[in-house]
């Protein structure tokens, strides 16, 4: 079955058709003949929010295992075949999904589809103890290099653990803990694959210089015979009150270059008009060098060397407004925090000026158009809206929805959420190496990692 490719109002002329195979695989196609390339994007509806206690990090570990060979492709063959054909590829894991993607010359599209189907249909033929141990070590080393052994590296997992209470599906982040990575067994990985890597738990999008009829024929040929699986359990409920209800705070004494103030504010779920309003508020406040916080802290007061405020959009739990300020010289964090609260209170009372509103909407519009303007970015957004919100067509009108938000809505969401009683705060205090080692010896670890893991 398919929908006609009629451009919707506000879609900028972009079109997409939807189809579904008998085994449940959802397919989204979008023609774009500007350049002779095609993007293939496959989203599986599984991320760290689906994991259980004691097995954190399994979704990300499995993303790595998907590049270790399948029934007809041995070892590193997926990379070798795609890159040998002039294409590029990768995969990432987040709280809410795992995705795999290739961008290929048009005449090599069939190869990319065959490779993704071979992994979906026959990965267990190649999954063994050797590949499991190999990728377990790779992921553990990634955690060391990107999180444990870099300045401020554990900030995201610490703030996430504060913002989402113990037992919440978003309390831990995709990288998982060292202990859980060590505990994962080959049978855990096999069960994970059987449960989540099924066609009825996936969306496949193909965007670019394609012949839709031929593309659908290839998809049916390679994916159509893969059986569906009905054993998946829904993720645990991520519902929380709209605000935290009090400030949560943690001080981290580590060997870092400068003091830092980081905070996470609980904001509306992705896919809502309120989330778009929050995105605009954070763009005015901390989105670039023209933002209020940059002008106040970096340019005027010169108390910070960097100040940013951005939105981590989440569909299954409250989104997070992410504040990150690095102090200048010996400036105390208390001084920074006072200035931030003054700016947030002023914004909540007055809202954005017309000029700020226009600039913020233009900035978000450009970011959206940048994503939709490339075949890979559009393929990813079509999958995202299909998996998280049930309708890939929403990706094509997202820009228009941002532009429809009013200044009053932006002020209202800021007044309701950007308050001291709705944030988790992390304060970094620099220490000498010897002192940092002593602190590390007595400090409890946090089982978590970054929002999105680029696996390769």
Do residues 62 and 175 touch, judged by C-beta distance below 8 A?
no
Do residues 136 and 238 touch, judged by C-beta distance below 8 A?
no
Catalytic residue selected from 51, 63, 157, 409: 63
How many Cβ atoms from other residues are within 10 Å of residue 57's Cβ?
31
| Alpha helix segments (H runs only) across 144-211 | 155-163, 178-183, 186-196
Tokens of residue 149, six digits: 């052994």
| Alpha helix segments (H runs only) across 123-266 | 129-143, 155-163, 178-183, 186-196, 212-223
- Residue 167 burial (10 A CB sphere; 0-12, 13-18, 19+): exposed
Q: How many helices (H) and strands (E) does the chain have?
A: 16, 12
Tell me the C-alpha distance between 140 and 221, whole Å: 38
Tokens of residue 157, six digits: 């997992």
For residue 442, give Cα distances in angstroms to 438, 445, 448: 7, 9, 19
63 is catalytic: yes
> Which residues are known to be catalytic?
63
């Amino acid at each position: 079955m398919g929908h006609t490719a009629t451009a919707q109002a506000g879609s900028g002329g972009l079109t997409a058709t939807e189809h579904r195979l008998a085994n449940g695989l959802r397919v989204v196609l979008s023609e774009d003949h500007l350049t002779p390339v095609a993007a293939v994007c496959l989203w599986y509806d599984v991320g760290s929010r689906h994991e259980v206690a004691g097995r954190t990090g399994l979704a990300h570990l499995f993303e790595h295992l998907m590049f270790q060979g399948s029934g007809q492709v041995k070892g590193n063959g997926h990379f070798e075949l795609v890159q040998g054909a002039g294409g590029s590829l990768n995969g990432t894991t987040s709280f809410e999904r795992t995705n795999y993607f290739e961008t290929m010359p048009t005449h090599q599209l069939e190869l990319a589809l065959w490779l993704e189907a071979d992994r979906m249909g026959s990965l267990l033929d190649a999954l063994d103890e050797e590949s499991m141990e190999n990728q377990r070590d790779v992921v553990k080393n990634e955690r060391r290099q990107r999180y444990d052994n870099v300045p401020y590296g554990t900030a995201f997992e610490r703030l996430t653990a504060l913002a989402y209470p113990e037992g919440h599906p978003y309390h831990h982040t995709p990288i998982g803990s060292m202990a859980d990575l060590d505990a994962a067994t080959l049978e855990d990985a096999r069960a994970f694959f059987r449960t989540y890597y099924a066609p009825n738990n996936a969306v496949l999008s193909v965007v670019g210089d394609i012949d839709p009829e031929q593309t659908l024929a290839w998809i049916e040929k390679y994916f159509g015979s893969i059986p569906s699986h009905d054993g998946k359990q829904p993720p645990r409920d991520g519902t929380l009150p709209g605000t935290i209800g009090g400030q949560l705070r943690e001080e981290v004494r580590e060997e870092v270059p400068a003091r830092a103030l980081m905070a996470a504010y609980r904001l509306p779920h992705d896919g809502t008009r309120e989330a778009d309003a929050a995105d605009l508020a954070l763009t005015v406040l901390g989105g670039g060098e023209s933002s209020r916080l940059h002008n106040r802290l970096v340019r005027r007061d010169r108390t910070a060397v960097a100040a940013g405020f951005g939105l981590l959009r989440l569909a299954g739990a409250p989104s997070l407004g992410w504040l990150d300020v690095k102090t200048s010289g010996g400036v105390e964090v208390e001084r920074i925090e006072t200035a931030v609260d003054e700016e947030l209170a002023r914004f909540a009372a007055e809202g954005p000026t017309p000029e700020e509103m226009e600039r913020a909407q233009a900035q978000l519009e450009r970011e959206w158009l940048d994503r939709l303007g490339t075949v890979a970015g559009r393929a990813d957004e079509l999958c995202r809206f299909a998996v998280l919100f049930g309708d890939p067509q929403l990706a094509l009108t997202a820009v228009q929805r941002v532009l429809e938000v009013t200044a009053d809505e932006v002020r209202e969401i800021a007044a309701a959420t950007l308050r001291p009683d709705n944030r988790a705060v992390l304060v970094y205090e620099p220490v000498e190496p010897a002192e940092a080692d002593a602190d590390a010896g007595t400090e409890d670890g946090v089982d978590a990692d970054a929002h999105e893991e680029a696996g390769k």
